[in-house]
Structure formats: structure tokens, C-alpha cells
Structure 1
Amino acid sequence: MGTIEAEKIINRQRNFFQTGETLAYEFRKQKLTALKDMLKSYKKEIYQALKNDLNKSEYEALTTELGFLHTEIDFALKHLKNWMKSEKTETPVTHKGSKSYIQKEPYGVTLVMAPWNYPLQLAIAPAIGAIAAGNTVVMKPSELTQSTSAILADMIRATFDEGYFTVVEGAKDVSQQLLEQRWDYIFFTGSTNVGKIVMEKASKHLTPVTLELGGKSPVIVDKDAKVDLAAKRIVWGKFTNAGQTCVAPDYVYVHEKVKLKLLRAMKKHIQSFYGKKPLQNEDYVRIVGKDHFDRLHAFLADGDIVHGGNVNDEKLSIEPTILDKISWDDALMQDEIFGPLLPVMTFRSLDDVIGEMKQMEKPLALYYFGETEQKQRHVMTNVPFGGGCINDTLYHLANPHLPFGGIGNSGMGAYHGKYSFDTFSHRKSILKQTTKFDIPFRYPSGRLSKAIVERLMK
């Protein structure tokens, strides 16, 4: 795609936005409803695309991709009218006679750049917020999941005017060309390194951004945790989508007194979820591509494999694997793993773990397992992270009342539920002044005005 074509796409959308059609509640409601109907109509094709790209089963596609989107759309439709209302605010006595309010205004032409790990959910979910807030959308899916990219392009082309909502497919050069353009808002989900490039490009036009990135999200299992339940929830959170989840547990810190018990329980639950031979499980998700597979495969040389470790080069599959005797010097501890490898490390003092984590980059998520409320509060208060759970993993994502987003290296901004609407809305401050009278002391008219102002400001 060349510069002229990219400019043509944006100009077409800017012209559509400037008609004012997207400002109306009924228009936004109709488009959200059309989006929901589209997902239902193309359900069969969506399942097949996700199977082609990542070997996702229909169950996993439903629970981690489609189901989430239906919930988000329903939530937006239920609350949209209320979200759009202007917010009345207080006005100080110095502004007697005036009224103040905040009006929610769409940014305009928005770019949504989606990753490959949840190629449907993470493409459509931000678009829900953009549509609800009254923007137009240009979507750039990942080229690594070609089947899902193609079905996104087909079904959105069949459902929406391209001047309002369109998909641009292509590789890295297409993304680069899009980022050279002037957007009103950019929403990016992906790696921290690429997120920095997106922010740099956006800065040339002072375009606001949301960056949903990643990081090494820790799990802490304390000595008073309900170990079997913790193991079950850790295994579920880690190996869903073969560990290719931005908020997947990246590594476990377990208290030395319960380590062996946790390892045994995690092995048990891996077998329960995926069978004794996961590589023969037809529904086990594969690694997205050869480069990513090779990177993960090399990590198997670190530490000791206590469970799993088998791979299938042809299918690009790696078993759910637990690694022990890991240190921070090992290669797999340098960056986010983003695969079905779970390093386990041991601690004696919770404060030592907290102190260590405070020195590291802020992760997208943190999960603490333990029954003592004081320790729960202590961890949640003293370790910075985007969002997380106490005695669970991943589940905070599915609550539309909670904002989802990172901090520091793991991202900026948040979305889901109303927070998606807020992300794509500018809060415009408005003061409506009375014309029935005019307060004289606001004007420079001598000592009396000065005295009155001084008294009001005390």
C-alpha cells in the first residue's frame, strides 16, 4: 500500500465523520447491533479461521474470542445512552449564574492495530469502544493470522460502509505506511518494542494513543494458599491459547513449603485439561509461526523440565511444560515468554519477592494466591502492575466494570466496558454563562473589585 492509498482511506473516513452521522445515538446503536449480527452470521467461518490460524477448538474460540465480544457489545448497547449524556458539574460561587458540564465528543478517524494471539477478539473489542463513542474505524489485523485477517476484511466489508469502518490487510510495510498518516486516535495491541514505534510515530502529529502491551506477569503462591485450586487456576490461565496470552502467568514464585505440592497438582491438572499426550490432542492450540516456535523451543534448554517438554516441529506445537531450577540469568527470564512454558522459582520471604518485583519493569498482570487478607492487601498495594487477581488468573479481563490496561512498559490507557467508550471519547468542558445579569467585580474597575475578589478567594 502506498502513501496515496493510505491518504485516500483516511480522507474518505474523515469526510464521512464530518457529515455528523456518527454523533447520533440511533446511528451508534444501529452499528453496534449490526456488528453483533455480523459475528453471529459469520460464526461458522470465524471458527474455521481460528482453527486454521491457531488450531483453536470451537469451545476455546467461543470462550476466549466470540463470547467476550458478545458480552462487550451487549454491555455497550445497554449503557450507551447513559454514557453519551453530558455530565453536570458544580460551579463555584465566583461563577454565579453560570452552569458547567462535560460533553463526550468522538475523536474522529481512529486506527485499531490488532495482534495475532486473539486475532478476532483483540481486533473487534477496541472497535466496539470506537463505534460506541461515535468514531470511524480503520482496522489493521495481524498478517500472522491470515485466515482471521481475511474473514475480518470480508465480513466488515459486507456489513459496513468503508468510509465508516474498513479493514486494511498486509504485512509490516502496510503498518508502517498507516502509521505515517495523521490519525485522530491510535489503539495498538502488541509488543512493547512495537508499541514504542507506534508512540513515536503518533507523536509527530500529537495523536493520542492507547498501548496494550505485555510483560512478565508473575504468580505468587504463598504458603497458606489452597494449593490444588491455585494449581488448577494457574494451569488454566497459563496454557489457555498455548500460553499466547498477554496476561498469562509468565512465571511462578511459590513458597518453599508448598512447592512440591504445587508441582504435583499442576501436573495433575495439565493431564486433566489436555490429556497425557497433549500433542495428540486435536484441540490443543499451536504456536503461531516458525520463528516464535524456534524461540520457545530454545528456552527448553533452561533449567530442568519437570513436566512436558515434547514438541512437534511440523505442527508447531509445544506441550504444556513446567521448568524448575530457573534463575533470572536464564534466557527465558529476559523477556515475556508468550508460550506454554512455565518457570517455577522458590521463595522464603514474601517481602523479598515484593522487593524484587518493585525493581523490575511493571507487568500487565499479577496474581497472588494466599488466604491472609493482610498479605493480599500488602501485595496489591506494594507491587505496581496493570491489573490482576487474588486467588485466580485472567478472570479480571472478563469483568466489563473493570478497566483493562497496563502501566509503564506494559502499556498506557485502558478499555473494556465503559472504559472503552471513555478511551475513544474526548471530554469537552463547557461553561454556559447567564446573560440576565453581569457580575461587575470580574472586570478591572478599582479597589472595590479587588477587595471583593480577595474576599471570595479566601
Structure 2
Amino acid sequence: MAGTMTYTSLEDIQKVHRTVTETFHSGLTQPLAFRRAQLVQLGKLIQENEARFLDAMQKDLGKAPLETGIADAGPVVYSIAKALEKLDEWNAPDRPADLPAWRAGWDTTVYKTPKGAVLIITPWNYPYVIGLGPLVGAIAAGCTAALKPSEALPTVCEMFAELFPRYLDTRAYAIVKGAVRETTCLLEHRWDHIFYTGSTRVGRIVAAAAARFVTPLTLELGGKCPVVVADDTDIAVAARRILYGKQANAGQVCVSPDYVLVPRARQDELLDAFAKVAAEFWPDGSLASPDLANVINAAARDRLTGLLAKTRGKVALGGEVEGDRRLAVTIVRDVPEDDILMEDEIFGPVLAVVPVDDVEHALRLIRAKPTPLAIYVYTESDALKQRFLETTESGTLVLNDTYQQLAVQEMPFGGKGDSGYGAWFGKDSFDIFVQRRSYVNVPIAADPHLAVRYPPYTQEKLDILAGFGLRMPLPKE
């Protein structure tokens, strides 16, 4: 059973904002030695409390410890190790190459300077990797931060509130507990960057609040992620990988496969394959399995069962419910293009199977919807892979798997349009929180060589200056 928690008072939220802002301006977080020490402490916070981390998600969400360890807490430790390894390299100034001779002595440099005091607002589905992952980037960048976990995870929130002061410098890093009222209060303050993960609806609210102060913003918003099963793929492998991605966190994942577009002639074959995989994954049914997480709350469960009651498709697998937070992994076949299951992101253990005429039909359906966070395509055809790369839009294009792009921290993860903007993971998490600050020092001794730029502007000076740009030779086509 999930526990209860106390909320941070509005007065204390103001103190948090003031403290992390003043701490940043004090320069405490500037030295790399400080950042390195705090990263190590964050790693210890996780590793020395591993059992608590796994248990907290079991209590709040009913999530299996293995899933929490592999997909939520584990990636944070990996990102900390990489940040420690690359800290000097990431923070090293860049010096542009190939400068023309007349500017070669200007000490042209680009510094990576921390943006300042940042706000990280996280969802309930993956509180560790989505909350602490960006925090790794903020610490590595030299920022201070306030972290607002989801109130839907009271055990996790209270654990964070207890552990942060024990491991991290409270002058620089703080936890704020609360719901809409507390989040609204946080957004009324000026931050130097806001990192928000959640729904598109709330993302618009956060963006409007950030616009008041022209605050830079990273939005990771999810969306309806389609799966395309092409004629040439191995249906058995596709079914196993799709169902694995769908059942992760009971489908409550921003990159969860939302609907499957399959050739009409192969729908039955795919459904038979799903049934076989389900029997392997959950011999006693998914509802009875401790490996399937709960739906977050009764309201979410009711929303999902409401969708199933209204769909014009037919339930081919699952559909059973238990209590107010348990819903079996459910597959719905023959879902029409304009069905209720095709309107908004399902965000639960329900998968819609939509028969299509061909790949062109699938492409039309995908293009007609808002840009998703991910598109999944099962095919062995290099031409078809290239076609999806060139003619569709998404945060990520994944071939022949689902969900596993989250394991690749060496490439940016983010959305486009309705699925958000900005990207993180690995070095990109660091890049979010730094300004590439340009620095140039024009030597006093160079003034005689620059005299041509001063008035009066004669034809002779125009001819000289034009040679530096306007009349430069261009390469031939």
C-alpha cells in the first residue's frame, strides 16, 4: 500500500527558490571538484539505499523490483558514472578551428557556463531516471536545482526528502513535495531552466508559465507511439517484442507502443502470436502476475475501462480487472481508424490493433496524427526503413523493437511538436543546463589593422572590406 506524505509549504517553496538561487550566485557549484563530489554522493544515495528504492516503487506502483532496477534506478547510476568519466571533457572550452589569419589572435573561445538555478518537475511512472537523470546533467553543468517529484508516489517523495539532505548539499539541491498548488507556486518564480516531463496538456501550462520570464524549457511529453508490422517481418519475434514493450510499467510509459498497424491478411497471425507470448510471460494470466505493475490509481483504471467499453474493436486478449488498480494486459483487434482508442494516448496496458491495406495506408494514418515520441517499424527491408526515416516525423525511429531505445543513453532522447522539445540522456543532459557562452578578446595591438572599418567610408575601404566576405569566391557546383 502506498503511504502518505506531507506537502512543502508555500513559504518553504519560496525559501527553496531563494536558497538555490543565492547558492548559484555564490559560486559554490562552479568548481569541478564540487560537482564531482556531489555526483559521487548522488551515486551513493542510490546504491546504499537500493533496497529502499525498489521497495518504494513496489509500494507506490506495485512495480516488480527487477523492472525498477533495470529500467529506472539502474540507468541513473550508469549516467552518473559516465558524467564522472567525462566531466572534464564536457566542461572544457571549445576553440573554433579554421579561423582566418586576420582573426587568429583574438582568443576566440566558447565556454560551457552553467545556466543557474533550475527546476525539474517529474512524473510518477519513472521517478528515478526521469527525476535524477536530469539532475545528473544539472550537477555536472554546475547548476543548482529544485526537484519536484510526483505526489502520486508518496513513498518515493518522502524517501527523496529524507535522503537528499543526508547525501547532497542542501544549499544547492532541494526536494519540493506537493501537487498542483505547490507546482503552481514553483512556476511563479523565475528559474534559469525548467525541465518538465508529463502530459501535453500540462506541458502547455508549464510552457506558458516559462514564457512569462522567457525561461528556457525542456518538455518531454510522450504521445501515441505507433507500431508498423510490415509483411516481411518475423511475426513471432515482433509479437514478443511489442508485448514486452506494452507491458512495461503496465503501458504507463511515454514511449509505450500505443497501436499496431498490421496488414489485414496477417492480423490473425499476429493475434495468435500475441496469445502465445502472453502464455509464456504470464502462465496464470497477466492480472495474477506480480510482474505487471498496477495502474496508478482508480481514476486511471476507470478511464481505461471506459475506453474498452466504448471501442468498436473486439477484445482479443485480457480485459479483466481486479480491485481499483489492476487491469490485465489487453489487446483489442479490428480497431477502426476513427475509434476512441485512436484519439488520445492510451497510457495503460491496452494495445489497439488496426488492420491496414498496405504500408502507404499506415503512413497516411501516422502522418494524420500529432508527432509521436517514437515510431516502431518491424521490417527487414532497407528501402522501407529509409522510407520511414525520410517521410515520417518522431522523436525517435526504432526498427524491430519497442521501448529499448531507453537503454541507449549515448544518443539524445526527446520529442518534437506535441511530443515535446529538447533532448536529454548522456551528454545531452549536460548540454541542456549549460550556455555555450562565446568569448572573444580583440587585442588592442590589432587596431591599426582594423582602421579600415572606421569612417569615413571610402570606395577604397569598401573594396578592401568586401574582400573579406561580399566578394569571396564560392565553390563551383
Tell me the distance in 1 between the aligned counterparts of 2:389 and 2:154: 39
Q: What is the CA-CA distance between 1:96 and the residue it aligns to?
A: 4.8
Q: What is the CA-CA distance between 1:77 and the residue it aligns to?
A: 1.2
Letter in 2 for 1:451: D
| Structure 1 counterpart SS, 2:195 | strand
1:5 aligns with 2:16: no
- 1:29-70 Cα offsets, whole Å, 9 max, x none, are 111111001101111111111000111111111111111111
| Structure 2 counterpart SS, 1:14 | helix
1:306 aligns with 2:316: yes
1:105 aligns with 2:117: no
Equivalent positions of 1:133-152 (< 5 A) are 133-152=141-160
Equivalent positions of 1:384-395 (< 5 A) are 384-395=393-404
Off by >6 Å, runs of 4+ in structure 1? none
Tell me the distance in 2 between the aligned counterparts of 1:352 and 1:174: 46
Could you tell me which residue of structure 2 aligns to residue 187 of structure 1? 195
1:76 aligns with 2:88: no
Question: Residue 18 of structure 1: which of 16, 25, 28 is its match?
Answer: 25
| Structure 1 counterpart SS, 2:370 | coil
Contact kept, 8 Å, 1:367 with 1:391, in 2: the verdict is: yes
Question: Residue 452 of structure 1: which of 430, 446, 464 is its match?
Answer: 464
Contact kept, 8 Å, 2:247 with 2:292, in 1: the verdict is: no
Contact kept, 8 Å, 1:254 with 1:345, in 2: the verdict is: yes
Contact kept, 8 Å, 2:194 with 2:217, in 1: the verdict is: yes
TM-score, with structure 2 as normaliser: 0.93
Contact kept, 8 Å, 2:223 with 2:371, in 1: the verdict is: yes
Could you tell me which residue of structure 2 aligns to residue 123 of structure 1? 131
Letter in 1 for 2:394: F
Letter in 2 for 1:143: E
Question: Residue 442 of structure 1: which of 453, 469, 472 is its match?
Answer: 453
Letter in 2 for 1:349: D
Letter in 2 for 1:277: G
Q: What is the CA-CA distance between 1:3 and the residue it aligns to?
A: 5.1
Q: What is the CA-CA distance between 1:166 and the residue it aligns to?
A: 0.7
Q: What is the CA-CA distance between 1:150 and the residue it aligns to?
A: 1.2
Tell me the distance in 1 between the aligned counterparts of 2:239 and 2:106: 59
Letter in 2 for 1:354: L
Q: What is the CA-CA distance between 1:297 and the residue it aligns to?
A: 1.2
| Structure 2 counterpart SS, 1:206 | coil
Could you tell me which residue of structure 2 aligns to residue 370 of structure 1? 379
Q: What is the CA-CA distance between 1:257 and the residue it aligns to?
A: 3.2
Contact kept, 8 Å, 1:157 with 1:167, in 2: the verdict is: no
Question: Residue 269 of structure 1: which of 261, 264, 277 is its match?
Answer: 277
Contact kept, 8 Å, 2:95 with 2:110, in 1: the verdict is: yes
Could you tell me which residue of structure 1 aligns to residue 4 of structure 2? none
Contact kept, 8 Å, 1:228 with 1:265, in 2: the verdict is: yes
Tell me the distance in 1 between the aligned counterparts of 2:135 and 2:440: 31
Could you tell me which residue of structure 2 aligns to residue 166 of structure 1? 174
Tell me the distance in 2 between the aligned counterparts of 1:369 and 1:81: 40
| Structure 2 counterpart SS, 1:22 | coil
| Structure 1 counterpart SS, 2:151 | coil
Unmatched 5+ stretches in structure 1: none
1:402 aligns with 2:411: yes
Q: What is the CA-CA distance between 1:2 and the residue it aligns to?
A: 5.7
Contact kept, 8 Å, 2:245 with 2:403, in 1: the verdict is: yes
Letter in 1 for 2:255: V
Letter in 2 for 1:175: T
Letter in 2 for 1:455: G
Contact kept, 8 Å, 1:119 with 1:149, in 2: the verdict is: no
Aligned length, in residue pairs: 457
1:217 aligns with 2:225: yes
| Structure 1 counterpart SS, 2:189 | coil
Letter in 1 for 2:364: G
Contact kept, 8 Å, 1:94 with 1:456, in 2: the verdict is: no
Q: What is the CA-CA distance between 1:351 and the residue it aligns to?
A: 1.6
Could you tell me which residue of structure 2 aligns to residue 175 of structure 1? 183
Tell me the distance in 2 between the aligned counterparts of 1:308 and 1:200: 40
Q: What is the CA-CA distance between 1:97 and the residue it aligns to?
A: 2.9
| Structure 1 counterpart SS, 2:127 | coil
Contact kept, 8 Å, 1:250 with 1:337, in 2: the verdict is: yes
Contact kept, 8 Å, 2:232 with 2:379, in 1: the verdict is: yes
Could you tell me which residue of structure 2 aligns to residue 46 of structure 1? 53
Moved more, 347-356 or 409-418: 347-356
Letter in 2 for 1:233: R
Structural RMSD (CA): 1.4
Could you tell me which residue of structure 2 aligns to residue 32 of structure 1? 39
| Structure 1 counterpart SS, 2:351 | strand
Could you tell me which residue of structure 2 aligns to residue 423 of structure 1? 432
| Structure 2 counterpart SS, 1:367 | strand
| Structure 2 counterpart SS, 1:169 | coil
Letter in 1 for 2:372: P
| Structure 2 counterpart SS, 1:361 | coil
Q: What is the CA-CA distance between 1:450 and the residue it aligns to?
A: 2.2
Could you tell me which residue of structure 2 aligns to residue 252 of structure 1? 260
Letter in 1 for 2:320: N
Q: What is the CA-CA distance between 1:26 and the residue it aligns to?
A: 1.3
Could you tell me which residue of structure 2 aligns to residue 238 of structure 1? 246
Could you tell me which residue of structure 2 aligns to residue 87 of structure 1? 94
1:323 aligns with 2:332: yes
Q: What is the CA-CA distance between 1:265 and the residue it aligns to?
A: 1.1
1:196 aligns with 2:204: yes
Contact kept, 8 Å, 2:252 with 2:347, in 1: the verdict is: yes
Could you tell me which residue of structure 1 aligns to residue 3 of structure 2? none
| Structure 1 counterpart SS, 2:413 | coil
Moved more, 133-142 or 424-433: 424-433
Letter in 2 for 1:340: P
Could you tell me which residue of structure 2 aligns to residue 296 of structure 1? 304
Q: What is the CA-CA distance between 1:398 and the residue it aligns to?
A: 1.3
Unmatched 5+ stretches in structure 2: 1-7, 472-477
Q: What is the CA-CA distance between 1:24 and the residue it aligns to?
A: 1.4
Q: What is the CA-CA distance between 1:277 and the residue it aligns to?
A: 1.9
